[in-house]
Amino acid sequence: MELSAGNRTGTRLEDRVKDWSSRHRRWLVAGLWALVVLLIVGYSVREPVRDWWLAHEACGGQLPSGELEIVRTDLRLGETEESFDAEDGTYSCVLRDENGKVVVAVDAYPEGRERDQELGLAGTSRPPHAVLPGGLPGFEDENSLVYLMPECPRAGRTPAEQHRLLVGTWTYFAHSSAEKAAMLRLAVHMTNVVTGKLGCGGEPLPAPADGAVPDEGTYVPRARAKGTACDALATTRVPAAGRDGEVRIAIADGGIVGRCTLRATETYEDAREGAAIIELTAWRGDWGPRVREMGSGPDPLPMGRGITRRPALTEHRAWAVAKCDGDDVGFAAHWGQDYPDRHRKPGTKYVPPTEAEQYEQRVLLRTYVSAFAADQVRRGACTDLKLPEKPEKPEKPEKPGKPEKPGKPAA
């Protein structure tokens, strides 16, 4: 029955809308719920999709997805940045999580001031924190930072003058063995990506063996270091504090930096238990002039280029040089950071070493670096070994003589 004018509540159009909505109420409610569900699903999918996109786009899309899944946490990814300058030879990329912490960061440093600064910082932290397996040219620094230094000749350079690129790869969350192995594979992969971008040429670095991780070194009793890469600490005269000590062997084939450390295992008045007594280090490649290694004295190691790269000797450290496969190689010997400890007793006045003591320290350090360098050169088939000159022995102070007897007065 058609409604009379008295029953109408609005205009003809409004009445038609009300009539239609009453007949389609069920479909309107269903559609509204469908819209709500779509909004919820869309929001829940948006974050995973963004997460996937960031992982896929980071570092030019070159981050291996399997390794990334291992070294990252359950947090969502937050942002990624990348820069590359083919002319300058620089490359940088970083992937952060939603809290701004680094998940993966890769930086390449060509020869120059920035690389010298980076290597100077690495050298100060007493590398290697861990050596790399499989002959990889690099080491792990503290905080899961892997440095690789592949050869990267520049245009116009002869093979004998080629230099090494420095590529640092940092994975903030790598702690377990599985994470460390993934970190190492990721670092090698990204280093090969960078050398390819820069046109370095040559064969790419070999992928690490399955499960291979950086090695923090082997600790053995001093006597058992004989015949190893740290033989020099077992076959030379060492201070009493280290005679029955242990040796940390952290030297790997193909490594860029290796270390032998003699540590005290008994408490002596001049070295507490576990303190480093003597440090021997081998440095391969062009590190620049800024390495100030702990225990090596007030001056940086003399790691200059060309003719400035020559032997040196002080009471703090000894330095020898050689050539290995076209690379400059340096060998250092110096006292541990806490040895000799002349500030041992609080309140006592510092007494500088006498000339005789300084001479004895130079003699010992020269002995250590000579034995270490000769052994390393033999193992690596290196040439042109140059050792520091023998120190000059200080003259003994003249003892006061007896007064001459007075002669007879002249006639």
Please report the DSSP string for 183-243 in residue order: HHHHHHHHHHHHHHHHT--SPPPPPPPTT---B--EEEEGGGGTTSTTTHHHHS---GGGT
Q: Mean pLDDT across the stretch 250-256?
A: 92
Residue 24 has pLDDT above 80, yes or no: no
pLDDT of residue 25: 61
The helix or strand, by DSSP H or E, that contains position 313, with its residue range, turns out to be: strand 312-313
Distant-in-sequence contacts of 201-208, Cβ < 8 A, 24+ apart: 201/152, 201/153, 202/150, 202/151, 205/136, 205/137, 205/148, 205/150, 206/134, 206/135, 206/136, 208/132, 208/133, 208/134, 208/136, 208/181, 208/184
Span 47-57, mean pLDDT? 81
More confident residue, 376 or 290: 376
Kindly indicate the confidence band of residue 121, based on its pLDDT and cuts at 50, 70 and 90. confident
Least confident of 74-88, 92-106, 291-305, 357-371: 291-305
The CA R_g of the chain, rounded to the nearest whole Å, is: 34
* pLDDT recorded at residue 405: 47
Confidence category of residue 208, pLDDT binned at 50, 70, 90: very high
Given pLDDT bands bounded at 50, 70 and 90, which one contains residue 268? low
What are the two backbone dihedrals, phi and then psi, of residue 199, each rounded to the nearest 5 degrees? Answer: 65, 40
Average pLDDT over residues 235-239: 94
pLDDT of residue 19: 64
Cα dihedral 169/172/173/177 (nearest 10): 40
* Res 32: pLDDT: 63
**The predicted structure's pLDDT at residue 323:** 92
Q: Provide the residue type at 119 as one letter.
A: L
| pLDDT at residue 407, rounded to an integer | 44
Task: Determine the pLDDT at residue 160.
Answer: 47
Q: Which residue has the tokens 């990889």?
A: 136
* pLDDT computed for residue 409 by the predictor: 41
Residues 251, 292, 200, CA angle at the centre, nearest 5°?
A: 60
Give mean pLDDT, residues 202-230: 95
Nearest to 331 by CA among 302, 360, 357: 302
* Rounded percentage of the chain residues whose pLDDT exceeds 70: 78
pLDDT at 202: 82
Task: Residue 275: name the closest of 335, 206, 196 by CA.
Answer: 335
User: In whole angstroms, what is the distance from residue 319 CA to residue 333 CA?
Assistant: 7
What pTM did the predictor assign? Answer: 0.81
pLDDT number for residue 3? 47
Packed helices 177-198 and 25-61: angle between N→C axes, nearest 10 degrees: 70
Tokens of 118: 């980076």
Residues 6 or more apart whose Cβ sits within 8 Å of residue 357 = 315
Determine the pLDDT at residue 236. Answer: 96
DSSP state of 122: H
Q: What is the pLDDT of residue 245?
A: 92
- Rounded average pLDDT over 68-73: 92
* Mean pLDDT on 157-162: 51
Q: Is 201 exposed, middle or buried (0-12, 13-18, 19+ CB in 10 A)?
A: exposed
CB atoms within 10 A of CB 103: 24
Model confidence at 7: pLDDT above 70:
no
Tokens of 60: 């030019």
Q: Which of 64-68, 278-282, 324-328 has the lowest mean pLDDT?
A: 324-328
Mean of the pLDDT values across residues 372-387?
94
Quote the CA–CA distance of 338 and 267 in Å, as a whole number.
Answer: 13
Q: Is 3 exposed, middle or buried (0-12, 13-18, 19+ CB in 10 A)?
A: exposed
Q: How many CB atoms lie within 10 A of CB 96?
A: 20
pLDDT digits (tens, 9 = 90+) for 182-198: 999 999 999 999 999 99
pLDDT value, residue 303: 84
What is the mean predicted confidence (pLDDT) over 74-97? 91
Per-chain mean pLDDT for the chain = 83
- The reported pLDDT for the residue numbered 333 is 97
Stretch 208-226: mean pLDDT: 95
pLDDT of 100 reads 92
Does residue 6 carry a pLDDT above 90? no
What distances in angstroms separate CA 52 from CA 39, 45, 68, 70, 78, one per listed residue? 20, 11, 11, 15, 11
Specify the pLDDT at position 177.
94
Single-letter amino acid, residue 81: E
Nearest in space to 249 (alpha carbons), one of 267, 234, 269, 271: 234
pLDDT at 156 over 50: no
Confidence of residue 345 (pLDDT cuts 50, 70, 90): low
Q: Are 232 and 238 in contact (CB under 8 A)?
A: no
User: What kind and span of H or E run contains 31?
Assistant: helix 25-61
Taking the C-alpha atoms of residue 262 and residue 270, their distance in angstroms, rounded to an integer, is 14
